[in-house]
Structure 1
């Protein structure tokens, strides 16, 4: 018998990829965080939504240990504060607080100057489902066989390549922390889709290398969410695995 608010089934994997020496991505699933990990098999957990549940990926920026510290701080703070979040204003305030905390840390430790992290995820509570992001990590809603991007990329628009492959850039216009000028403005919105709902969250280590239609096919053809997440990771690795890869596939019911 389900608890009030139902539950969410989350399947996750985070990996350094084929080239990077370390994994500066982190993930959060409710009270659980995973950082600096090199998983080759997904983990699956079932979380009750009797209190608000936050799910997100964070892609650290800054090289050395700096990006790793920034993304880990972000997911720890989200895990800590997630159960108290009720809606968009509180999500935006938390992300602003994390932004300030990372900037303060970089000021106090000059070797970490410019450290930052992207973030993309969802907050699930009794009032509904909310998406959020800063940077170019992505949140998609899974609608039947199709992925619809909810998050808004904080990266410059580039013309498509002649072969139709996505053109990618490592430049992002804002992050949590980071050295970009001006104030950070998170993207936050309500997901109006009716329950049950499903989402895919990923760092650009997946979305830069695997087209959305290829991701759709892998999820649709997989026999389980674990198989789907593993297939997505493998596709990014086979496409060069040039960045850390983090994937969360979540289904609320």
Structure 2
């Protein structure tokens, strides 16, 4: 029977942000990563409230189905608590958080996910991404409108389509149940890791043979080495069989600190734009299904249509140029060939080949020998009328000389 053998959690503010809006939890059987959004005084509150509420689900379950139901209920309850907090503290309007969570129960794992934090599984040295990002560009990728490569540089790649927060009373949470095996290593992380460290880099760290704690620290360090423009949070879960676990529950990030928010004396808050999450280089925010989304899809389709037309035009131009080039080279080759044939009533040396390409003649008279066809023997005359191939101009001249000598006999 497989169970959790080791776990670890690590979080860092990064090199650009002023505060850590991520939260992480490595518990007994429950593991959570939350990435807050809502600006300086909202994201940390959102991820902290959600994580602390979801932690209450870290208990024993009789089945993976029961754990899955409890996870979904915990996320919905966290969403309600966020909405109530915003109702009581208007300055937090627009705050929200992503959540990725798993419950490990014997040989199964219950999963709950919303947003763009991710869950990965390393099994037998092969890394797989388990969750699908709830982002605008991921929808474009799923619908075939853009490629993964285009998504990585898309100007709206940070727009979230689903989060916990004060926007929807019944958020759509993805849940599932998967089997887990002895030796599996699970990774939960915020986009502060995946936005900097490549898929291969993550796979190498997870398969390095290091302990869960060392792997978590390594991934955070690699994110920092890459510039760490965002908060980065990592939770590692190792699954083993018959291993006595000694890890204690760990909370990292904003959830590890006392929850404190509200108006400070003498401080005037700036107006907050709804659902705004600051990101390096670009702004990331939440946008539910709306006309803006549909308009962007139409615009994206138009852009792709223009790109397809341009691609086809370039392809046609290149193909045409290739055909013309091949035709030119082929014609040049034919002009290195010679044969002996008839020109009117005389024998002539032709440059080119005997065949024509439709209306294009591939041969021309190189030299009229003035040797009358009627002066040739019947057999030679027939050969000339059918044309005699020559390997070179010199060979063609020798053929004419032989014909001339035969006609004189």
TM-score exceeds 0.5? yes
Distance 1:113 1:97 in 2: 18
Tell me what 2:127 maps to: 147
- Flag the structure with higher strand content: 1
Is residue 43 of structure 2 the alignment partner of residue 67 of structure 1? yes
Which residue is equivalent to 2:30? 54
The gaps in structure 1 that reach 5 residues or longer are 31-46, 48-52
Equivalent position of 1:173 in the other structure: 161
Find the residue that maps to 1:87 and give its secondary structure.
helix
CA, structure 1 residues 223+82, in 2 after alignment: closer, same or farther (shift >3 Å)? closer
Mapping 1:74-93, distance limit 5 Å? 74-83=50-59, 86-93=66-73
- Write out aligned runs for 1:175-194 (5 A): 175-179=163-167, 183-194=170-181
| Alpha-carbon contact 2:124-2:183 (below 8 Å) kept | no
Cα distance in 2 between the residues matched to 1:110 and 1:84: 37
CA contact (8 A) 1:142 1:197 kept: yes
Distance 1:228 1:5, change over 3 A: closer
Distance 1:207 1:111, change over 3 A: same
Q: In structure 2, what is the Cα distance between the partners aligned to 1:151 and 1:23?
A: 23
Q: What SS is found at the alignment partner of 1:153?
A: coil
Shift in Å, 1:224: 3.1
Aligned 8 A contact 1:12 1:229 in 2: yes
Aligned-pair CA distance for 1:193: 3.4
Aligned residue pairs: how many? 227
Structure with the higher fraction of residues in helix conformation: 2
Partner of 2:12: 15
**Larger deviation: 168-177 or 91-100?**
168-177
CA change 1:89–1:224 in 2 (3 A) is: closer
Any idea what the Cα deviations from partners look like across 1:58-91, whole Å, max 9, x if unmatched? 1111112211111111111122222165322221
> 1:210: which partner in 2?
197
Residues 10-29 of structure 1: CA deviation (Å, up to 9, x unaligned)? 12110101100110111112
Partner of 2:218: 231
Aligned-CA RMSD value: 2.3
| Match for residue 129 of structure 1 among 109, 130, 135 | 109
Max radius of gyration: which structure?
2
Q: Which runs of 5+ in 2 are unaligned?
A: 241-409
Structure 2 Cα separation of the partners of residues 64 and 211 of structure 1: 28
Query: Compared with structure 1, are the counterparts of its residues 238 and 189 closer, same or farther at alpha carbon in structure 2 (3 Å cutoff)?
Result: same
Higher RCO (CA < 8 A, seq sep 6+): 1
Normalized against structure 1, the TM-score is what? Answer: 0.81
SS class of match (1:28): strand
- For residues 212 and 190 of structure 2, the distance between their equivalents in structure 1, rounded to whole angstroms, comes to 18
CA–CA distance in 2 between the matches of 1:177 and 1:219?
32
Distance 1:167 1:144, change over 3 A: farther
- State how far apart, in whole Å, the 2-side matches of 1:76 and 1:127 are: 26
Question: How many Å apart are 1:145 and its aligned residue?
Answer: 2.1
1:140 and 1:147 in contact (8 A); partners too: yes
